[in-house]
Amino acid sequence: MKREIIACLFLTGCATNNAPNIVKVPVPVPCISPEIIEPVYFTGGGDIYEEVRSLLAEIELRKGYEIELRAAIEACKQ
């Protein structure tokens, strides 16, 4: 009787579903983006009008630089 029970246990062990479980793990991937060069800002001397013009130009350069940085970050997120 004991042998029959042991044989049944071995047979039921072979009949179970041993399908592998798939586990998805995020893997870090290095982001390769083009090099973004920071613009050179000039706020040199001169009269007040030249100073204002250079500051306004600096604002536009900074906006363009920020757009390039945001584009590089978005490219790395995908």
Distance, CA of 69 to CA of 73 (rounded, Å): 6
pLDDT tens digits along 5-56: 776 666 665 555 667 788 899 888 788 888 889 998 887 778 899 888 889 9
The reported pTM is 0.56
Q: Which residue ranges make up each domain of the chain?
A: 34-78
Q: Which residues contact 34 (CB under 8 A, 6 or more apart)?
A: 72
The H helix count followed by the E strand count for the chain is: 2, 0
Cα separation, 74 vs 78, in Å, equals 7
pLDDT digits (tens, 9 = 90+) for 20-30: 788 899 888 78
